[in-house]
Amino acid sequence: MSKRVLFGEGDEFLKREGLTLEPEIWEDGLRTDTGPGNFEWWYFDAHFDDGSTVVIVYHTKPLLLRTGPLKPMIAITITRPDGQKLSSFPIYRPGQFEAEKDQCDIRIGPSRVHGDLHRYELHAEGSNLSADLVFTGQVPPWRPGSGFNYYNEELTRFFAWLPSIPFGHVEGTLTYDGQTRPVRGTGYHDHNWGNIGLNEVLSHWYWGRAHLGDYTLIFANVVAADSYNNQVFPVFLLAKGSRVLTDDGRFLTLQKGEEQTHISRKTFPGRLDFYWQRDIETIHLAIRKPRIIESTSMLTGLPGWKRSLARLFTNPYYFRFEADLELSVSISGECSIEHGPVIYELMILH
């Protein structure tokens, strides 16, 4: 018998998780026991005026090592203005990890991030790479309902998500190629945690974000595993300035086309169309000309013998794209067409 995913929306789920309607500072603190079975990460990305980008993630452990003990890790990837990617993934001893529960205050080795749902100061470093940045939110923190999805009827197996900064300004310095460079731009921060093997409960997902004109978007199409009857759960946020126009993902659908094949033999669509419609209100995201900016086998972090064994059964793969977006909006008295870049990812777990 197939199982079902339960969405943590409504007052009963807020009460269950001790949440109010609006996110509170403590929600971006440590939310799980760091021992076997649990995982947690704090994600930051930024795009700068000089054409460079950075992605920084503070992990309690590598995602595929969820069943193991605390194994703190920093992932830092800087893409230079010429497109060359520089990455480092240092792993530290458990004693080199500290985290507070009352707000985001994480230390992993020499790296740290501290923030309050509006302003975050972070330092991250790896081999010959470092970043010192300040993120300041321009769109309030948000979550869909409680932010929890549950994968059993007892509500004990879950994956949770909090977009703390859906869109913000970023400034500071990046250090690479032996030089420290001042940078300014825009960015995003979210927080994820859970106690399930994502490869056990999910097939794949598309997730993306964009800021065009005055509009900020977060969108996702997540497809559960066969054992959950490939249940689809969409997520959507559209804000203008600091005002949320809609955060009801129930009306979001996805159409894909023009499949392309990567050298990994994984395929991805060359065209994505997200349609949101509620009565006569409509939103359309037309995503075209995807350009791969990251493509990684999720087995990379495993020892060689485990990688070889795992590939006999699966090869989960992560793609990150930049693409062209046309946003058409007709909602709440807003009628507009905007053009600009969009960043989105495709995670293939099966």
DSSP line for 231-291:
-EEEEEEEEETTEEEE--GGGEEEEEEEEEE-TTS-EEEEEEEEEEEETTEEEEEEEEEEE
**pLDDT class of 1 with cuts at 50, 70, 90:** low
151: left (phi over 0), alpha (psi -120 to 50) or beta: alpha
- 303-326 pLDDT, tens per residue? 443 433 344 345 678 888 889 999
Contacts of 279 (CB under 8 A, 6+ apart): none
- What is the spatial distance between Cα 204 and Cα 230, in angstroms, rounded to a whole number? 10
Rg of the chain, C-alpha, whole Å: 19
Measured CA distances, 11 to 102, 199, 286 (Å): 23, 29, 34
Would you place residue 21 in the very low, low, confident or very high pLDDT band (cuts 50, 70, 90)? Answer: very high
309 neighbors 183 (Cβ within 8 angstroms):
no
Match 């731009």 to its residue by tokens.
185
Mean pLDDT computed over 244-266:
86
User: What integer is the mean pLDDT of 70-86?
Assistant: 92
> What pLDDT is recorded for position 307?
39
> Which residues are 273's β-sheet partners?
255, 286
The two three-digit tokens of residue 281, written as one number: 């209100």
Q: Considering the chain, what is the average pLDDT of its residues?
A: 90
| Best CATH choice for the domain 1-196 from the list 1.10.10.10, 2.40.370.10, 3.40.50.11540, 3.30.2320.50 | 2.40.370.10
pLDDT of amino acid 332: 81
User: Can you give the pLDDT at residue 62?
Assistant: 85
Q: How many Å apart are CA 320 and CA 306, to the nearest integer?
A: 25
- Amino acid in the structure at residue 259: E
